[in-house]
Each structure stands twice: as structure tokens, then as C-alpha cells.
């Protein structure tokens, strides 16, 4: 079993070192940045203003993971029809935004409540994973950002 992970690690290392197509490390940066920002803001808003939502109807409440699914569907479609580094970067920001909305409400799928210790460990795992991905992809992500939008 560990041999599979070793092969995957070697393949990724080869692709990164040789700049081979199929692994776009720089795309992880906007995804993880948008994910962390959206996830954190959504958690804070849920904690501070738990009754804040878009009132589409008086009979039901649409949770924000529903909007996240639509955003993920839109980013998937846009990724299929647009090509180029700037489009990839913007679509990856949109994808990270959708992931943040969906994953913030993942505890509802598991029927966890906000004061459940499992909820806090789950949130901690997601934030830790997002920070690790942000750190891993920061150098190529910031380099591409500077190339796409030169800030003088």
C-alpha cells in the first residue's frame, strides 16, 4: 500500500522538477487562498450572525453550500471552455470560493452541530490542509500572479 503513495510522490516530484504538463502547482495557490478566505469568513459570519441568509422564501432556508455547488459547477464549465494562464487563475479563484462555501457546510451533511467537538476537529483539519496547500504553492502562485498582473 505504501508503494502506491511512493509512486505517486515520485511522479509528482518528476512533474514539478521537469515542468511537465498535468500538474499545475501554481493553481493550488488561488484555490487554497480563496478557500481559506471564504471558509474563514463563512465560519465567522455563521458564528456572529447565525440568522444571516438570502430570504428567497419564508418557507425554507437555502444553506450556502447550495450556492457553493452552483459555483463549483460554473467553475468546472468555465475550465472546460477557457484556456490560458489568466483564465485558469481566475477560474481557480472561483473554484476555491465555491469549495469554501461547500466545505463550510459539510458538517450539516454529517449532522454535526457547532458545539460538537467533532465539528471543531473537522474545521481544524480543513484549515490546516488549506494552509499547507497555500504554503506549498505560494512561490509559483505569487510568481504567476506577478506575471499575469504586474503591479508597479
pLDDT for 44-65, tens place per residue? 887 787 776 777 666 776 777 8
Whether pTM exceeds 0.85? no
The mean per-residue pLDDT over the stretch 105-117 comes to 68
- pLDDT the model gives residue 119: 64
Mean pLDDT for all residues in the chain: 79
Closest CA relative to residue 94, chosen from 25, 28, 34: 34
The mean per-residue pLDDT over the stretch 7-19 comes to 67
Q: Residue 31: which residues within 8 A CB-CB, separation 6 or more?
A: 92, 93, 95, 96, 99, 133
pLDDT grade for 8, boundaries at 50, 70 and 90: low
- Structural domain boundaries of the chain? 33-50+65-152
Amino acid at each position: 500500500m505504501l508503494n502506491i503513495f511512493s509512486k505517486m510522490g515520485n511522479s509528482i516530484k518528476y512533474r514539478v522538477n521537469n515542468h511537465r504538463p498535468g500538474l499545475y502547482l501554481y493553481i493550488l495557490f488561488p484555490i487554497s487562498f480563496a478557500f481559506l478566505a471564504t471558509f474563514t469568513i463563512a465560519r465567522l459570519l455563521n458564528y456572529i450572525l447565525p440568522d444571516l441568509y438570502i430570504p428567497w422564501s419564508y418557507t425554507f432556508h437555502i444553506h450556502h453550500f447550495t450556492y457553493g455547488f452552483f459555483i463549483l459547477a460554473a467553475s468546472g464549465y468555465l475550465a472546460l471552455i477557457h484556456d490560458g494562464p489568466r483564465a485558469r487563475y481566475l477560474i481557480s479563484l472561483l473554484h476555491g470560493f465555491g469549495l469554501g462555501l461547500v466545505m463550510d457546510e459539510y458538517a450539516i451533511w454529517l449532522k454535526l452541530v457547532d458545539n460538537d467537538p467533532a465539528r471543531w476537529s473537522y474545521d481544524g483539519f480543513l484549515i490546516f490542509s488549506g494552509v499547507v496547500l497555500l504554503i506549498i504553492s505560494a512561490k509559483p502562485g505569487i510568481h504567476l500572479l506577478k506575471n499575469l498582473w504586474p503591479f508597479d
